Amino acid sequence: MKQRNAEILCIGTEILMGDIINTNAAYIAKELASLGINVYHQSVVGDNPKRLKDSLELAFSRADIVITTGGLGPTYDDLSKETIASYFGRQLVMDEEALHRIERHFERSNRVMTDNNKKQAMMPEGCVIFQNENGTAPGCAIEGRAEQEGKTAIMLPGPPREMKPMFEQGVKPFLLKDSDTRLVSHTMHFFGIGESMLETILHDIMQESRNPTVAPYAKTGEVQLRITARVKNGEDAGSLLVPMMERIKEKVGEFLYGIDVGNLQTAVVKALKEKHLHVALAESCTGGYVAKRITDVSGASEVFECGMCTYSNRMKQELLGVKAETLANYGAVSEETAREMAAGIRKISGAEIGVSVTGNAGPEPSEGKEVGLVYIAVDSDSLSEVFTLHVNRKDQDARETIRYLASSHALSLILKAVETVKSLNI
Amino acid sequence: MKQRNAEILCIGTEILMGDIINTNAAYIAKELASLGINVYHQSVVGDNPKRLKDSLELAFSRADIVITTGGLGPTYDDLSKETIASYFGRQLVMDEEALHRIERHFERSNRVMTDNNKKQAMMPEGCVIFQNENGTAPGCAIEGRAEQEGKTAIMLPGPPREMKPMFEQGVKPFLLKDSDTRLVSHTMHFFGIGESMLETILHDIMQESRNPTVAPYAKTGEVQLRITARVKNGEDAGSLLVPMMERIKEKVGEFLYGIDVGNLQTAVVKALKEKHLHVALAESCTGGYVAKRITDVSGASEVFECGMCTYSNRMKQELLGVKAETLANYGAVSEETAREMAAGIRKISGAEIGVSVTGNAGPEPSEGKEVGLVYIAVDSDSLSEVFTLHVNRKDQDARETIRYLASSHALSLILKAVETVKSLNI
């Protein structure tokens, strides 16, 4: 398959005016990279036919594939399809399946379908239609003939929750249809190691790897590696992916918390469920952040019964049984208080694992403890320890970063506690 | 001042590849709109001199002002300044103040400054420099002469926490410097009314308003109105802004929760502080989300002592004192349970206001209660009521949306309770 270039053209006055952030472009760019398709330009244009036409012609002067988002709605200013069909010299024709799906969508939501909604089922003749499982406007792909030979336009709806599933289910197979190969990937999730350290350790592996490729993605406190193999249809990707993941595990396995697991909180809920364990939380400076992240995961109720946000010293004593002497001698932000909080919440709740967080999220030092100092404790039959976190940030996002990292470390300690139980074969 | 057009050109391979989401473009677009500067195109290009040069020429063929972000770093592939200076026929010269600031930045963070960091202080001759208060790379503006007469390039660093303060403190005054007028705005925050309803009620006001202008911004469950007046230097903006805000309050004042207050949780902490009140939380389906949002606000410890996430029925009984009969007769997701949870947490904590949330965040119905049904109760000396929330969402973000909206309603009920105390003159 020859190397193809794509351009991303996002259409919508709301994006242009800054009323919404353009997350679609990043999503599509990343997906195209994983398909081996280069992107050299992204652009945004409003719902204006003249400027849209100019932008489309410019994009096709630089790229083989132009992927648009937005402008497929029912209102008069949604003109993407008309403009793009006209570029390819095509008429719009009614697509009966799309119309039928739109009608059913309105029936299901008990809303009245107006005539302009039918416009959404008018599609360029000869296009490939991507039905919309999460909204009304279908997407489509037009492949150029004659003068436009070799040019492909792919039109997708603007709302990310419609666009992303359509890309995954419709656009990816479309882009790979002329290919006798397919891409299979796994994501390895790491916590407790920075991106630059991980890249340093894995430098040689990452440099030399062509198939599978190894690509790092950093987010606050975490790094993910996406391992992607390109295999011939009918071949097994495992023979390429598994040895590579084993090589990586040998080097940085101690920081690996899961494969294809989404995020820390999902890994925590999954791990607890597998061992039929429960966790209880006592949070001070994170004030509910750990509990919030755990309960983000549906099904958390099987493993999480109770969390307490004890922000004041009085509540730490009354609710968790932290000793007055401990608070007086060491302060609320201390290893000792963290330890008693974790033991206290475990006792109260009857959970197998108790976790606590106490620290200073800023903006001012308190009890003489600096901003960014946080103690995170875990208490279970097989593991009892305190992790000390220092976050050296002074900017406007410092409070959020300190609280987020502290909550991540709490989740990581829960995983460690579950792991300990596992090794004891309980 | 003649009407000017601007284009936003974001430079960076990380944005192009989708590794980071381009939040800068939305921020700048919105700020330019508030300055009365039109934006018709946004684009993204990688760290490639040829494509950057082409994109720059294209942008200047369409606009008077081109604002770039990114490419100002110390490494070899950061070439924005060289490319843009060359477009204007300028050399790069060392700026001593910028160099001095960079040196101090490294001293303060105890890091060694390498030679390539000095490159960041090399600025196009004759430019206006915007010093960077939050990082090392300064920004700048170049105003064209001769052939480039009337063209202005503004270069800003890529990291949002450096770019935004620089825009606010440096770029805004620069863009307004030839103007004898300035812009003053206030933001009115509404909760409990949808954007389309608000726009319908305020349609005439919004249509006819030229000075001040009234612009709505919607986010999940909330709407903000930005009221912006353009006044001659030395004139008072209040005479334009105050009557407009009064007119708006007359129509939709019951939904207004604050002016220039940032968000619901900040308004809650502020309101509680002003009355020296405390709130305590009992959360079931939000599982710490309300506590997390309140403790996002620095200084929350003055008004928030304790929250409990009682996810299981057992914990609702043991910790909050919800009656077994209540749970048996009405279920955990019920008005009655919500009421007892709020009263329970208030009693345990000694706070003046107790708030509870119990509901079904999905994905499956439980106890025969549908997904998206949430009860939110408040309990205080002067106010005791339960709000019933129905969220009809089935998509992949449904759980997050239900939990977020439920937490917003809890915050809103706290504000209502504080308001009641106020009216009793306690």
Q: Is B291 close to A290, i.e. CB distance below 8 A?
A: no
* Contacts with A306 from chain B: Cβ below 8 Å: 308-312, 315, 319
What part of A 219-258 touches B (C-beta under 8 Å)? Answer: none
Q: What is the DSSP letter of B132?
A: -
- Determine whether the interchain pair B41/A51 forms a contact, defined as Cβ–Cβ distance below 8 Å: yes
Distance CA B332, CA A158 (A): 39
Give the pLDDT band (50/70/90) at residue B274: very high
The answer to whether B285 touches B364, Cβ cutoff 8 Å, is no
User: Could you report the per-residue pLDDT of B199-246, keeping only the tens digit for each?
Assistant: 889 989 988 888 998 877 777 889 889 898 888 878 899 999 999 999
Identify the pLDDT of residue A113: 78
Distance from the B131 Cα atom to the nearest Cα atom in chain A, whole angstroms:
16
pLDDT digits (tens, 9 = 90+) for A6-63: 999 999 888 998 888 999 999 999 899 878 788 999 999 988 889 999 999 999 999 9
Distance CA B312, CA A360 (A): 30
DSSP per-residue string spanning A44-56: EE-S-HHHHHHHH
User: What radius of gyration, in Å, describes the C-alpha atoms of chain A?
Assistant: 27
Query: Which residues in chain B are contacts of A289 at CB distance < 8 A?
Result: 288, 292, 295
Give the tens place of pLDDT for each residue, A238-272. 999 999 999 999 999 999 999 999 899 999 999 99
Lowest mean pLDDT among A350-364, B219-233, B272-286: B219-233
pLDDT at B367: 86
pLDDT interval class at B77 (50, 70, 90): low
Q: Is A422 on the interface with B (CB under 8 A)?
A: no
User: What SS3 class is residue B231?
Assistant: strand
Give the residue, A294 or B197, on which the prediction is more confident: A294
Contact residues on chain A for B354, CB-CB shorter than 8 A: none
Q: How far does CA A232 lie from the centroid of its chain? A: 28
pLDDT digits (tens, 9 = 90+) for B326-385: 999 999 999 999 999 999 999 999 999 999 999 999 888 888 899 999 999 999 999 999
Per-residue b or e along A307-332, where b marks 16 or more CB atoms closer than 10 Å to that residue's CB: bbbbbbbebbbbbbebeeebbeebbb
Indicate the average pLDDT of chain B. 91
pTM exceeds 0.90 for this model? no
Contact status of B319 with chain A (Cβ, < 8 Å): yes
Residues ≥6 apart with Cβ < 8 Å to B147: none
Question: B179 and B209 in contact (C-beta within 8 Å)?
Answer: no
**What letter does residue A167 receive in the DSSP assignment?**
I
Closest Cα in chain B, distance from residue A56 (Å): 13
Q: How far apart are CA B129 and CA B95, in angstroms?
A: 9
Exposure string (b/e) for B43-60, b if CB count within 10 Å is 16 or more?
bbbbbbeebbbebbebbb
Query: Which residues of chain A are within 8 Å of residue B357 when distances are taken between CB atoms?
Result: none
Q: What is the 3-state secondary structure (H, E, C) of A312-348?
A: CHHHHHHHHCCCHHHHHHHCCCCHHHHHHHHHHHHHH
Distance (Å, whole) CA B317 – CA B327: 9
Contact B17 A39 (CB under 8 A): yes
Whether residues B42 and A40 touch (CB distance < 8 A) is answered with no
pLDDT of residue B263: 94
A374-423 confidence digits (pLDDT tens): 999 999 999 999 999 998 877 777 899 999 999 999 999 999 999 998 55
Percent of chain B's residues with pLDDT above 90: 67
Number of CB pairs, chain A paired with chain B, less than 8 A apart? 220
For residue B8, give both structure tokens: 């936003």
Q: What percentage of chain A has pLDDT greater than the value 70?
A: 97
Helix or strand holding residue B426 (H, E) = none
CB contact under 8 A, B348 and A287: no
Q: How high is the ipTM of this complex?
A: 0.79
What is the model's pLDDT at position B342? 98
Output the pLDDT for position A226: 86
Model pLDDT, residue B193: 87
Residue B40 near residue B71 (C-beta atoms within 8 A)? no
Under 8 Å between Cβ of B47 and B81: no
Looking at beta carbons, which residues of chain B come within 8 Å of A400?
296
Burial class (CB in 10 A: 0-12, 13-18, 19+), A46: buried
Q: A354 is written with which tokens?
A: 């108790």
What average pLDDT does this structure show over A307-324?
A: 96
Give B88-132 pLDDT, tens digit per residue.
999 999 999 999 998 887 787 667 777 778 888 999 999 999 999
Residue A131 reports pLDDT greater than 90: yes
Say what the pLDDT of residue A161 is: 84
Judged by CB atoms closer than 8 Å, whether chains meet at A25 and B45 is answered as no
Q: What is the model's pLDDT at position A301? A: 94
Cβ pair B305:A312 closer than 8 A: yes
Which residues 339-398 of chain B have a CB within 8 Å of chain A? 348-349, 361-363, 395-397
Region for B373 from its dihedrals, namely left if φ exceeds 0, alpha if ψ lies in -120 to 50, beta otherwise: beta
Residues 46-105 of B with CB under 8 A from A: 46, 48, 51, 55, 58
What gap in Å lies between CA B44 and CA A370, rounded to an integer? Answer: 40
Cβ contact A16–B42 (<8 Å): yes
E-assigned strands of B59-124?
65-69, 92-94, 122-124
Task: Tell me what pLDDT residue A47 has.
Answer: 83
Element holding A104 (H helix, E strand): helix A96-108
- Residue B47 pLDDT greater than 70, yes or no: yes
State which amino acid sits at residue A218.
A
Is A133 within 8 Å of chain B by CB? no
User: What is the DSSP secondary-structure string of B145-187?
Assistant: -GGGTT-EEEEE-SSHHHHHHHIIIIIHHHHTTT-SEEEEEEE
Residue A121 contacts residue A95 (beta carbons within 8 Å): yes
pLDDT of residue A2: 61
A35 touching B (Cβ < 8 Å): no
**Element (DSSP H or E) covering residue A393:** none
pLDDT in tens, A171-210: 999 998 877 777 788 999 999 987 778 888 998 998 888 8
Q: Are B290 and B281 in contact (CB under 8 A)?
A: yes
B403 touches B289 (CB < 8 A): yes
pLDDT at B184: 85
Assign residue A368 a region: left if phi > 0, alpha if psi is -120 to 50, beta otherwise?
A: left
Residue B314: pLDDT above 90? yes
